[in-house]
Structure 1
């Protein structure tokens, strides 16, 4: 029920005004200007029915003082006067009044004017609340856009990071910018590492990360939340339980953040495996290359020695046959047999030459493969090195609002 303060030095007038308003409002009354100020120290009426002619201070001065002290921010003033000329009305307006009514008062007019001012106050209160809600909505939208902008920049920047340490640093920069205190456990190639935004992780935090890893995607306990993915578990130690809107935004952003980190860790793991396999393959190729080169050299040396030995044997046989004293036809048959055998042996040596050539081709292909694998290793190493010089955007101040 709206509160009305009647100000008049005539007790009969005060009683009459109280009767007119008592059915619909809570009514108090005072008889002087100073009494008004005392009343306002303890109460804040919705409407003041203020007489112009008071014994101590006139109504205009009372209204001006209340206005200057900020007492009329939520209170309306209706001047009551037997003088209804234009000058009096203008003076009432200048002193800060909301309405003017002439004596003697008509009950219906008085109730109607009070009702209008009371409804106006309620309307203004609703508008003020709506404006406050709208401002809060705008602030929430701006905050959400800023947070989302940071996350999107982090996702984009993460593609330039090629090591777990770099990814963790960038992740903590983002989470710190969001006001979150966090620790993380990563698992890459079955090796677990532990990280904290404070630098060193506490033993109990490490134990929690391990124990809660199999508790599902989200595990909430009091103001803490752990998020688990295949390559990472993240424990947030200060979830904003006292701010439901921000709590909801953080819970919406965490899957995007941790999911991105998990994806990058998966790619880092695959990259490490490729690098390891490439290095192992290069080593295996080098061993095979050395072995085949040794076999090729040995084959070439043996072939050369066998050819020389055959030619020497033919020369020695020809001398030896001449000393045997064989008949001419016998000598021809023996020499023909020896020549045929030498020809067969040389044919086999020619086949060895073909094998030698094949080995040389294999060695050439192996050398090309080793060079290609070396370039793969070099490129991966170069990417990892160049990423160390990339600027981190997750903690930049010029966040673009979407």
Structure 2
């Protein structure tokens, strides 16, 4: 039997603790505490998989508790608060929050978020194990490269990307060489997506990336910075403490973002041209198929018309014998009949010429799209 995941709930109001415990206890092992002090004292012995932390508590609020927990543990912290403005969410994210839920708590939302967080944590552990096995060899191969070399390599590599995900992977791989934890938000003409060098972006990372994308080219808060361009944003969660390293990275990132934004624009143009080319191919193919049908019908009609004109001419010539016309009148009528018959056949011949002209045009169009 699979062991239940352990959820630590911290709230100074018993009613909230009872409500959340009732929602979770069927699926998880729930431990409820009423203060931030109790949380810090018992945290290591409880060793929870997730912490649900009330923001507004006496003596020590949830933000203070979260900052202390960052020092001793890596458990995801979900803030539960009656307030949900941008400032409060930014404060929660800066304090180390993984997600943010606004009271009153919706049971379905809470269960869905916890399930998603646990899936992210499992994926993160798998990625960390893989990273530990590959980082040493990868970093040794690049140990002699300078920071400028990383940027130059990035500028060369990005032009091999064929999709938004490959663009993001190239950027995150380069940022990894600067030893920063980053998330990327791409919002181009043919799609929007979030990427992280830890696998998936947390819900709060996604929310922050969206909220700050229109807050200027560079937005700094706490030890984090978000750099924005029209089609792409990068959120760096751990800017360097060293002032010189910090300054150099702040120089590199805008350049990399400008380059990425321009390449995303080129990708979108390429996608649009491919879409138009596909539409043109389909149109030419459809016109070709329709024209084959038209040409076949014209040939059939041509044969029917020739036969009808021939029969009409013969019938009229026979009928003239019974009209008691003079020889001169009969010749005049015959000339009129033959004259109009020749004009009709001439029109049919011109139709054949038009058909040939269309065939030439279609052949050229097919060569153009192929």
SS at match of 1:192: strand
Any conservation in 2 of the 1:293–1:363 contact (CA below 8 Å)?
Answer: no
Q: Which whole-Å CA distance do the structure 2 matches of 1:299 and 1:337 have between them?
A: 27
Mean Cα deviation higher: 191-200 or 258-267: 258-267
Matched residue, 1:169: 169
Mean Cα deviation higher: 302-311 or 328-337: 328-337
Matched residue, 1:358: 357
Superposition pairs for residues 177-196 of structure 1, below 5 Å? 177-189=177-189, 191-196=191-196
SS at match of 1:227: strand
Rg larger in structure: 1
- Number of paired residues? 228
Superposition pairs for residues 138-153 of structure 1, below 5 Å? 146-153=146-153
Any conservation in 1 of the 2:284–2:362 contact (CA below 8 Å)?
Answer: no
Q: Which whole-Å CA distance do the structure 2 matches of 1:322 and 1:248 have between them?
A: 110
Superposition pairs for residues 35-50 of structure 1, below 5 Å? none
Matched residue, 2:213: 213
Matched residue, 1:160: 160
CA RMSD of aligned residues (A): 2.0
Any conservation in 1 of the 2:224–2:235 contact (CA below 8 Å)?
Answer: yes
* Structure 1 segments (4+ residues) deviating >4 Å: none
Any conservation in 2 of the 1:321–1:331 contact (CA below 8 Å)?
Answer: yes
SS at match of 1:198: coil
Matched residue, 2:273: 274
Q: TM-score, normalised by structure 1?
A: 0.53
Q: Which runs of 5+ in 2 are unaligned?
A: 1-142
1:171 is displaced (CA, Å) by: 1.4
Q: Which whole-Å CA distance do the structure 2 matches of 1:164 and 1:287 have between them?
A: 32
Any conservation in 2 of the 1:303–1:352 contact (CA below 8 Å)?
Answer: no
Mean Cα deviation higher: 256-265 or 227-236: 256-265
2:335 aligned with 1:340: no
Matched residue, 2:235: 235
Q: Which runs of 5+ in 1 are unaligned?
A: 1-142, 372-402
Q: Which whole-Å CA distance do the structure 2 matches of 1:359 and 1:261 have between them?
A: 46
SS at match of 1:159: helix
1:179 is displaced (CA, Å) by: 0.4
**Alpha-carbon deviations, 1:74-133, whole Å to 9, x = none?**
xxxxxxxxxxxxxxxxxxxxxxxxxxxxxxxxxxxxxxxxxxxxxxxxxxxxxxxxxxxx
Superposition pairs for residues 90-129 of structure 1, below 5 Å? none
Q: Which whole-Å CA distance do the structure 1 matches of 2:148 and 2:271 have between them?
A: 31
Distance verdict in 2 for CA 1:190–1:354, change over 3 Å: closer
Superposition pairs for residues 1-400 of structure 1, below 5 Å? 146-189=146-189, 191-241=191-241, 243-371=242-370
Q: Which whole-Å CA distance do the structure 2 matches of 1:270 and 1:331 have between them?
A: 73
